[in-house]
Structure 1
Amino acid sequence: MKTTLLSALSAAAIFIASLAQAEADLSALFRTERTSLDNLPEERVARFLSFGRKSRQSPENKVQFSKSFLDAQPSAKGGEQFSCLAEALYFEARGETVKGQFAVAEVIMNRVASKRFPNSLCAVINQGTGRKYQCQFTYTCDGHKEVIREPKAYERVAKVARLAMDGAVSKVTDGATYYHTTAVRPSWRRAFTQTARIGVHMFYRDDRYRTAASQ
């Protein structure tokens, strides 16, 4: 009887130890996953979280390319990556149509998704900054201080930035990662496929490096 009892107690002790180890392993896994999520760029997390919503309803049906639609949206907020995108849209596209503003936002998002460019909005937008007129987005290296003088225009483009980061619209430019205004004719355009003309901007895709948005 004593031997049976000892065996049962030993088995119970082993089982309890196994449970404790399993709990410790699970906690370590959760900590690792949390650390990985914390290190992901904000816009990529937003895209992941919005995947289910996009599969149930076409993004294009949720967005109206009008100022009245933007004015009806709640005030936009976000962290550093959001601020970078909102600022870029203000200086690059505040005078564009609403659809044109979404298109410029999409180009920046497409660059983040491409392995040929940095993997965060701020890094994409500030690529080359510090070399006058050698950057990717001219306003960051033209030697002029970035001052937001039109708060209403900034409020609207900030909403565009928030919606774009949340995955509310996509494929406006058919996967473009480059654009220029109709006032110029840069030589690099010949190397790419023109995908759209929206407002005063022409959009291009490099077919050698297709992003998920252009598939």
Structure 2
Amino acid sequence: MFMLKSWTGGIAMLLALSGGVHAEMTVSQSNDPTAAIGMNLTALLGQERAALGAVKGTRLTAIVTSPAPKTRSKSKNKAIGYDTAWLANQSAPTGGPEFECLAKALYFEARGEGIKGQAAVAEVILNRVDSPRFPASVCGVVNQSNSRGCQFSFMCDGAAERIGDKSAWTVAGKIARAMIEGAPRRLTDGATYFHTPAVRPAWSRRFDRTAEIGQHIFYRPPLKTALN
């Protein structure tokens, strides 16, 4: 009898130990982070597959296709041709005193230079207006003079300022109006001086040469730095 109880107790103890080991193993597996991640990942992939299956093919293509790169408008960056086609599209050659002063300067100083050459001279005059070194108006710049003479030769040559060539006046007037109304100044790179190749003034050796258009060479003062 004692043997039977001992054998039964042993079996019960083995079963209890077996259950305890199984319980410990089960708890250990449930706290394994890699096991949890694997289960969650599998669930997420299943949900994603189901969601993608519900999206229409055209919409899915749009989602996975990279957007086309944006391109800048060529019309805004296109350089002005300064040709007869450009001139024909400009406003009528009329305006106030500032227009009159600029148109006369182009007519008497540069009418033989063509459209581009006259536009370049107009840039110089308007660049001077913007510079603190010169008068702050077109008429002030054109009429400026000092002990050495006038800034523009036609103002001091003694000849009467008569408009004898109506066609040339129309060209100069249209260019003057376009420039006053804000046409971009991209021909002379900020020049405030110019001269013809027939002369070589002393100041031209100290200034930065920016362009040569027609019978004019254009300059701007050298940029000053902390080392100058």
Task: Give TM-score, length-normalised by structure 2.
Answer: 0.62
Query: Would you say 1:110 and 2:102 are equivalent positions?
Result: no
Please name the residue that 1:142 is paired with. Answer: 157
**What are the within-5 Å matches in structure 2 for residues 136-175 of structure 1?**
136-175=151-190
Distance in structure 2 (CA, Å) of the matches to 1:207 and 1:100: 23
Deviations 1:129-181 (A, max 9, x none): xx797010010011111111111001011111111111112121001000001
The structure whose Rg is larger is 2
Q: Percent identity over the alignment?
A: 50
Instruction: Flag the 1:72–1:167 CA change in 2: closer, same or farther, 3 A.
Output: closer
Equivalent residue, structure 2, for 1:13: none
Gaps of 5+ in 1: 1-55, 210-215
Residue 128 of structure 2 aligns with an amino acid whose one-letter code is R
Partners of 1:91 and 1:139 within 8 A in 2: yes
CA distance in 2, matches of 1:73, 1:123: 25
Name 2:116's counterpart in structure 1. Answer: 99
Tell me the equivalent position of 1:10.
none
**Secondary structure at the residue paired with 2:210?**
strand
**Partner secondary structure for residue 154 of structure 2:** helix
**Structure-1 separation of matches of 2:129 and 2:164:** 28
1:26 alignment counterpart: none
What is the aligned partner in structure 1 of residue 17 from structure 2? none
Equivalent residue pairs, number: 153
Tell me: higher relative CO, structure 1 or 2? Use CA pairs within 8 A at least 6 residues apart. Answer: 1
The answer to whether 1:119 aligns with 2:136 is yes
Report if aligned partners of 1:90, 1:154 keep a CA contact under 8 Å in 2: yes
Pairwise CA RMSD: 2.3
| Counterpart secondary structure, 1:167 | coil
Q: How far, CA to CA, are the matches of 2:204 and 2:89 in structure 1?
A: 37
2:101 aligned partner = 84
1:116 is displaced (CA, Å) by: 0.3
Retained in 2: the 8 A contact 1:59–1:168?
A: no
**What's the offset of the Cα at 1:61?**
3.0
Match of 1:182 among 194, 197, 208: 197
Q: Please give the alpha-carbon distance, in whole angstroms, between the structure 1 residues aligned to 2:77 and 2:196.
A: 24
Sort the Cα spacing of 1:157 and 1:146 in 2 relative to 1 into closer, same or farther, 3 A. Answer: same
Gaps of 5+ in 2: 1-72
Give the letter aligned to residue 156 of structure 1. V
**1-side partners of 2:141 and 2:76: how far apart?**
24
